[in-house]
A = this chain, B = another copy of it.
Amino acid sequence: MTEEKITNDVFEETEQTTEEIEPVALDMETKNQQFDEDVEKVLELLQNGDYFDTRSLLLSYNEVDIAEIFEEILDELSIEKAIIAFRMLPKNVAVEVFSYLPGDDQVNIIDGITDKEIAFIMDEMDFDDKIDVLEELPANIVDKILDQTPREERKLINIFLNYPEDSAGSLMTPDYISLQETMTVKEALAHIKQQGMDSETVYTCYVKHGGRELEGIVSLSALVTADDDILVSDLMHKDYVYVNVYDDQEEVAEVFKKYGFLAIPVVDNENRLVGIVTVDDIMEVIEEETTEDIERMGGIVGNEPDDKYLDIGVFRHVRNRLPWLLFMTVMLMITGSLIAQFEEVLSQVIILVAYLPLLMGTGGNTGTQAATLIIRGLSVDEVDLKDVGKILWKELRVSIILGIVLSVFNFLKIVLVDGQSPLIALTVAFSMIMVIVFAKLLGGMLPMLAKKVGVDPALMATPMISSLTDMVSSCIYLLTASILLGIAL
């Protein structure tokens, strides 16, 4: 099926031609290219006021793609054009597209449409998406929306808005299917048929006991493959996995990764079911948490999860990068002062300076390798605090082997290629082993220590490791030199 065919499907009158088109499954690159071209076409059509074709081209895409096209419209054309295009969408599509837009674009759309339209969109959105939108909007608009919301729902919205950011509570939706233990499969399916449309997922159903206490879960696949008169209580799993409403979203993501669930129940401290989290929301959490980790490992702090590089202003970029840079500058200044203490050694054997970067760089590089492995290992639960002994023992052996290999390599190069005295070469080689062992042990230990005291291990990556190893490497090297070369400090 070609993209053209998909495009044509929207119009009933062209349906009959689809049979003639040779089916060709496009690979990802061709599909992406086609999409980029179509985005350009939409911008052009919309600019020229050709609304009929704009609409049909837009509607040939999935709502997620349409939202992406709207981001482009808002970036490249104007808010007015975006509002015009938005109003051309069928209402149910408009609601979906709206929920996929980034926060600031949602505010732009809200500002441009009528109160009645806002009320419609809010009413039709999934509950968890609605909460996300309300969290982004300015207070005056939120008040306006809540005024038009029925009292019961307003109460629920306020409860959900109060769950801590990054908690399971902030991810969940109250729109799930509840069943009774005593229902038969037939009754359960009839109930799902009636309730399903308003539900975030129908694929996992929740069996509640008494008031709201969660008794067990039953999957729709178990229901549809069972006979009509079997009881829900016979199909349900009572050993379900749940999360607590105050559990951190990162821990919730770990549970999804581990078990491969499509949805997971969220309960309060009294085991009452308060909502469910679905896998699609967790995919976003995983991506956000990974981005945060990677940025911290690269010495950047303060980016919000949905900030995009190009959308962040120059001054915000500066603010997010400056803290680590200042810290590292101070560390490097200290390193410099330490080196200045060895002025006597350096001025007598100036060639030592040429190997200073080698020692400092090797310390940073080898330490970073170890820290990277441990930080990632901690974040995917491969290593644990109790493994600290095993880790240090492994890093010790690895560092000794690496140290010997690299120092022999350097010794030979310094003597044979640079033509320096064996004593200088020995100074570099000996320091190098010491530096590598120190750096590997530091890189292996620091992330564990951070985790132990409740600091994000990702902060113990390159910036921190290289700052510390720079300091220690230069001291080890120059101290070794002063001893081996017999120069008093």
> What is the bound-complex CA distance between A273 and B9, given in angstroms?
20
Of the candidates B271, B321, B335, B362, the one whose C-beta lies within 8 Å of that of A398 is B321
Within A356-378, the residues touching B (CB, 8 Å) are: 356-358, 360-362, 364-366, 368-369, 371-377
> What is the bound-complex CA distance between A441 and B5, given in angstroms?
44
Which residues of chain B are near A340, meaning CB under 8 Å?
351, 353-354
Shortest CB-to-CB span from A29 to chain B, Å, is: 9
- Name the residue of chain B whose CB is nearest to the CB of A366: B325
Within A437-489, the residues touching B (CB, 8 Å) are: 461-463, 466-467, 470, 474
Which residues of chain B are near A364, meaning CB under 8 Å?
364, 466
> What is the bound-complex CA distance between A375 and B295, given in angstroms?
10
Q: CB distance A365 to B308 under 8 Å?
A: no
Of the candidates B268, B332, B376, B413, the one whose C-beta lies within 8 Å of that of A333 is B413
Q: CB distance A369 to B244 under 8 Å?
A: no
Q: CB distance A271 to B1 under 8 Å?
A: yes
Q: CB distance B298 to A372 under 8 Å?
A: yes
Number of this chain's copies in the complex: 2
A397 within 8 A of B: yes
> What is the bound-complex CA distance between A347 and B28, given in angstroms?
59
Given the contacts A309-B391, A346-B353, A390-B310, A376 and B291 also touching, CB distance less than 8 Å: yes
Which residues of chain B are near A321, meaning CB under 8 Å?
366, 369, 398, 402
- Name the residue of chain B whose CB is nearest to the CB of A262: B262
A394 within 8 A of B: yes
Shortest CB-to-CB span from A469 to chain B, Å, is: 11
> What is the bound-complex CA distance between A397 and B291, given in angstroms?
23
Which residues of chain B are near A467, meaning CB under 8 Å?
361
Of the candidates B27, B259, B343, B402, the one whose C-beta lies within 8 Å of that of A325 is B402
Report which residue of A203, A256, A308, A375 has the largest number of chain B beta carbons within 10 angstroms of its beta carbon: A203
Q: CB distance B309 to A6 under 8 Å?
A: no
- Name the residue of chain B whose CB is nearest to the CB of A256: B283
A416 within 8 A of B: no
Shortest CB-to-CB span from A222 to chain B, Å, is: 9
Q: CB distance A299 to B368 under 8 Å?
A: yes
Number of residues of chain A lying within 8 A (CB) of chain B = 136
Given the contacts A262-B262, A372-B297, A410 and B270 also touching, CB distance less than 8 Å: no
A51 within 8 A of B: no
**When each residue 388-421 of chain A gets 1 if its CB lies under 8 Å from chain B and 0 otherwise, what string results?**
0011001001100110011001100100001000
Given the contacts A239-B62, A358-B333, A309 and B374 also touching, CB distance less than 8 Å: yes
Q: CB distance B64 to A193 under 8 Å?
A: no
Report which residue of A259, A267, A361 has the largest number of chain B beta carbons within 10 angstroms of its beta carbon: A361
Report which residue of A221, A294, A310, A398 has the largest number of chain B beta carbons within 10 angstroms of its beta carbon: A294
Shortest CB-to-CB span from A388 to chain B, Å, is: 11
> What is the bound-complex CA distance between A290 and B376, given in angstroms?
9
Q: CB distance B299 to A372 under 8 Å?
A: yes
> What is the bound-complex CA distance between A185 and B353, given in angstroms?
80
